[in-house]
Structure formats: C-alpha cells, structure tokens
Amino acid sequence: MELFASPMACSLASHITALEAGLPVKVRFVENKKTDDGGDYYKISVNGYVPALRLDDGQVLNEGPSVLQYLADRKPETGLAPAWGTIERYQLIDTLNYLSTEVHKRLFAQIFAPSSPDAAKAAAMAQLEPTLGAIAQRLGDRETLVGNKFTVADAYLVTLLNWCVFLKVDFAKWPTIQAYHQRHLKRPSVAQAMGVEMAERKRRAA
C-alpha cells in the first residue's frame, strides 16, 4: 500500500495509524500536486488533496475517515477501530465525522486556505475556543476519545491539536485537552510519524 501525504497535514493521522498497526505502508509525500516521482497527483486524487491510500490492487481511498478505518481494519487486534456491529464502532464513526466536518473542514480549512477571505478566517478563528470546549466535553475525564484505547480518532485529534499549537492557541483553558495532547505526543507512533514529517518540511524549507 502507498499513502500519499503532505507533511503535518491531515494525512499525518493516517501515517500514525499505519505505524501504530505495523502495516507495510510506503509514505509518499506530495508537493505542489506532484508525487515524489514527478507524477501528476490529480491522476491519483481527483480533488488533489491528501490523504490518498493506493491499495495493492490499484484502488484508491481518498477521504481521511475511510483511509483511517481501512488501515485499522487490516489489524483488528490492535483495537485502532472497534469491531463492526458494536456501539463503540458507531461512536468512532460519529467522532470521525465530527472531527472531519465540524472541526477540520468548517474551521481549519477556512483558516489555512490561501483563497479564504479575511472575514472567513476571523470567523473560523473565533469558533476555535467553543469547539475546543466541545471536544473537552466529548473527552471528559478519559485518556482517549472512544472507549479506553487509542483509536484512529485519537490519531486525527492529535493532528488537529498540532494545528492549534501552530496557531498559538493556549490550551491552559482546557487542562484535559492540554494533558491529552502532551500524553499522545509521547506515543511512539505519533513521535515517529511527526519526526519523519517535520524532517520533510525542513528539507523543503532548506
């Protein structure tokens, strides 16, 4: 399998998941809509965004929640996604949908998009605090978002919280989120994926 990614973008969650599951996934970084071998990325991802997971038979998955769940289901024994048919699986889907639509697309996509008007960026920034409050409420006093094990939802949330840090959001108002983020940054799969992706960012900036 090949995971097409952009360093420290939402595809980081899939990179973390692949490492966590111990899957033989080759990470290929995309830059300026070109693959690492100079190919046209639009031929892989019709919309040009990451992640894209190309399976061994050539089929492609191109939405974060589907990529995350596909990877998790390759190694069900890891618990990265609860078993199908359990209420925990539907809680996972509920959480992934919330993170991808209400947090990622509605807020961060507006904040980071170069074409986004200043008013839209400001409105999205204003919604970060109440959104973090809602996430803290979802988390409660647990160490993970769904159940009591690290799942793909946590890989996604760590990625989104990294973006908050980039935006200089102070987590002190939400001590549970602050502790959650610091704890999961130390997770080996998270540290390894972020190390690889930060090195790629530095390479591009050199």
* CA Rg value for the chain: 17
Q: Residue-wise pLDDT tens for the chain (206 aa)?
A: 999 999 999 999 999 999 999 999 999 999 999 999 999 999 999 999 999 999 999 999 999 999 999 999 999 999 999 999 999 999 999 999 999 999 999 999 999 999 999 999 999 999 999 999 999 999 999 999 999 999 999 999 999 999 999 999 999 999 999 999 999 999 999 999 999 999 999 999 98
Dist. CA 38–CA 44, nearest whole Å? 13
**Residues 194-202: contacts with CB under 8 Å, at least 24 apart:** 194/8, 194/12, 194/162, 196/15, 196/27, 197/5, 197/7, 197/8, 197/12, 197/15, 198/7, 198/8, 200/7, 200/29, 201/7, 201/8
In this structure, the number of other CB atoms found within 10 A of the CB of residue 79 comes to 17
Q: Does a cis peptide bond (omega within 30 degrees of 0) precede residue 76? A: no
So what's the pLDDT on residue 86? 97
Report all structural domains of the chain as residue ranges with CATH numbers, in order of start. 2-79 (3.40.30.10), 87-188 (1.20.1050.10)
Nearest to 16 by CA among 202, 184, 199, 205: 184
**Range list of β-strands (E), the chain:** 2-5, 26-29, 52-54, 60-61
So what's the pLDDT on residue 29? 98
Q: Tell me whether strands 26-29 and 2-5 are parallel, antiparallel or unpaired.
A: parallel
Cβ pair 50, 10 in contact under 8 A: yes
pTM assigned to the model: 0.97
Give Cα separations from 96 to 49, 146, 162 (angstroms).
Answer: 18, 10, 17
So what's the pLDDT on residue 121? 97
